[in-house]
Amino acid sequence: MAIRFEKMHANGDDFVIVDCRGQDNGIDATTARQLGDRNRGIGFNQLAVMSDCEDAAARLTFWNPDGSTLDACGSATRGVAWKLFLETGASDIVLRTNRGLLACSQEDDGLISVDMGKPLVDWRDVPLADAIDTLELPLPGSPAACSMGNPHCTFFVADAESTPVGRLGPEIESHRLFPLKTNVHFVQVISPSRIRLRIWERGGGIPLGSGSCTCGAVVNGIRRGLLQDRVEVECDGGTFSVRWDGSGGVFLTGSVEPNFSGLWSAPVVRASWP
């Protein structure tokens, strides 16, 4: 099977787009793992598959590089929006995801924004295994939790640079409190309008950035009373902007840049792949 793809990144948060509009969607977990392999495939933090949709410009299905699915991806959603803006000449579009309908717009400065929807803060919606207050979880460091269509756990630390993300991240990701696992954030508050964020991504490891994690981290910081309603977020790969009024949708804004496009041929012997 040959698959046409486009690869892009948002401040180093790389993703692949496969456009299946007008054709069958042949992407499954095995194919997603093969595409996501950075040595034998293309490599990505997330894969976004576009398909036809009656009530939106396209429907998006998201995959992690380990072959698991997710309901939200801020960077890839904005990448698809950027692609469609070029294709149609529009400056506003709506995309359907498992999070619902997401409105995207192109700003005057060329940056791409998406309304990621309202955060979910009830323990059942994150979800958590126990009926507890998501503002302060009973874990060392007392993190906060929320969902942006995928689960997020946010630690507030004195120094993000010295935090052992590679050791702590996988421990929290697979903690029994998170039945669907979780993304893990380590946030250093520089000021009420700026944070330094490092990330362990569920099913992916340490990325240079993440749109949904950026949103989740800011939401939890605002809920804690640490941040204002508009925050600049410094990730390893660059800076995103997040805006949330405390009740409505969370707006994520940042750059999107194309890397390359091509035609990927699936291996004949699938069993040899992990």
What is the tens place of the pLDDT at every residue in 126-175? 999 999 999 999 999 999 999 999 999 999 999 999 999 999 999 999 99
- For 2-114+256-272, which CATH class? alpha beta
Please, which residues have CB within 8 angstroms of residue 66's CB and are 6 or more apart in sequence? Answer: 33, 36, 203, 204
pLDDT band with cut points at 50, 70 and 90 for residue 186? very high
pLDDT band with cut points at 50, 70 and 90 for residue 269? very low
Answering whether pTM is above 0.85, one says yes
Task: Report yes or no: 29 and 18 within 8 Å, Cβ to Cβ.
Answer: no
Please, which residues have CB within 8 angstroms of residue 164's CB and are 6 or more apart in sequence? Answer: none
Q: Same CATH topology for 2-114+256-272 and 144-249? A: yes
Of 177, 193, 173, the residue nearest 134 (C-alpha): 177
Per-residue pLDDT reduced to its tens digit, 70-122: 998 999 999 999 999 999 999 999 999 998 999 999 988 889 999 999 999 99
Rounded Cα distance, 86 and 200, in Å:
32
Q: Domains of the chain: which residue ranges?
A: 2-114+256-272, 144-249
Options 3.30.413.10, 3.40.50.170, 3.40.190.80, 3.10.310.10; CATH for 144-249 is 3.10.310.10
**What percent of the chain clears pLDDT 70, i.e. is strictly above it?**
96
